[in-house]
Amino acid sequence: MRQEPNPKKIYPRTNDFSTVYLKNVITNSNIIVDDFTMYNDFNNDPKDFEKKNVLYHYPFVNKDKLIIGKFCSIACGTKFIFNSANHTLKSFSSYPFPIFYEEWDSTINVCEAWDNKGDIIIGNDVWIGFEAVIMSGVHIGDGAIIGTRALVTKDVPPYAIVGGIPAKIIRKRFEDSVIENLLKIQWWNWSTEKISEKLTAIKSGDIAALK
């Protein structure tokens, strides 16, 4: 018998403890994840996502955020690299003098050690492949797909497939007219009841039936 979708539980599947609904295991208020987005990890406990996968994230310094929409699929080993991993390119030296302000200059602002590129924002229904790396300031549009071990340094348009180092657009998932309709429909914001009713249309890619 089919169970009703429940975005509040931790484990979406019975006896599968390698996959979690991320929203329900996050404790950091600067990591914002919406309903049904899942993370799978067969190497580590997926509940440790914010510690093992969100790196150089010091919001008390930068106040930068990781924001992830609904119904995203995040594969094992995906990493989100935040601003504090950077060394500023404005300086004549790549050495992070401001981090060691106690030794060099107590008036230096620690944040001057890196270039602050802003939040990482992931749209809805995004699939991020195995061991992909998303860099600070990147925005990924709804419905995009990030290839295995891709290094994403620039924004990704909705429903684009990207891959490589650095990641580049391989192709669009659908024709422009279909993408335009999907972005208007925003099925991920429907109630679970309506999504269930329209699931056949979603799975089959029938845009007419989805409207």
Which residue in this structure is represented by tokens 């989805």?
210
Evaluate whether residue 150 is within a structural domain: yes
* Residue 97 pLDDT: 84
Look at 79 and 101; give whichever has higher pLDDT.
79
Q: CB of 129 within 8 A of CB of 148? A: yes
When divided into structural domains, the chain yields a total of 2
Residue 206 lies in a domain: yes
Q: Which residues pair with 38 in a beta bridge?
A: 21, 73
pLDDT-based confidence at residue 84 (cuts at 50, 70, 90): confident
Q: Are residues 35 and 73 in the same domain?
A: yes
Residue 138, domain member (yes or no): yes
Asked if 167 and 121 sit in the same domain, the reply is: yes
In a domain, 104, yes or no: no
Task: Assign 164 to helix, strand or coil.
Answer: coil
For residue 31, tell me if it sits in a domain.
Answer: yes
Tell whether 23 and 58 lie within a shared domain.
yes
Q: For the whole model, what pTM was predicted?
A: 0.92
Closest to 11 (Cα-Cα) out of 27, 28, 23 = 23
Tens digit of each residue's pLDDT (9 = 90 or more) over 175-189 = 999 999 999 999 999
- Quickly list DSSP for 104-153: H-TT--GGGGS-----EEE-SS-EE-TT-EEETT-EE-TT-EE-TT-EE-
Residue in the block written with tokens 């406990």: 45
In a domain, 35, yes or no: yes
Please check whether residues 57 and 32 belong to one and the same domain: yes
In angstroms, rounded to a whole number, what is the distance separating the alpha carbons of residues 182 and 17? 32
pLDDT of 103 reads 84
Note whether 160 and 144 are same-domain residues: yes
**Residue 60 binned pLDDT confidence (cut-offs 50, 70, 90):** low
- CA torsion sign for 79, 84, 85, 87 is positive
Same domain, 160 and 199: no
Highest mean pLDDT among 85-89, 100-104, 197-201: 197-201
Instruction: Spell out a b/e string for 182-195, using b for 16 or more CB atoms within 10 Å of the CB, else e.
Output: beeeebbeeeeeeb
Task: Confirm whether 105 is domain-assigned.
Answer: no
Q: Are residues 27 and 131 in the same domain?
A: yes
Spatial contact of 143 and 157, defined as CB atoms under 8 Å apart: no
Q: What is the pLDDT of residues 97-113, one digit of tens each?
A: 888 888 887 677 777 77
Domain interval for residue 180: 175-211
Tell me: do 58 and 161 sit in the same domain: yes
Mean pLDDT of the chain: 93
Tell whether 109 is covered by a domain. Answer: no
Same domain, residue pair 70 and 151: yes
Confidence of residue 59 (pLDDT cuts 50, 70, 90): low
Examine the domain organization and report whether 210 and 147 are in the same domain: no
Q: Give the integer Cα–Cα distance in Å for 179 and 92.
A: 45
pLDDT band for position 91 (cuts 50, 70, 90): confident
**Are the beta carbons of 36 and 68 closer than 8 angstroms?**
no
| Residues with active-site annotation | 87
What CATH number is attached to the domain comprising 152?
Answer: 2.160.10.10
pLDDT, residue 20, reads: 97
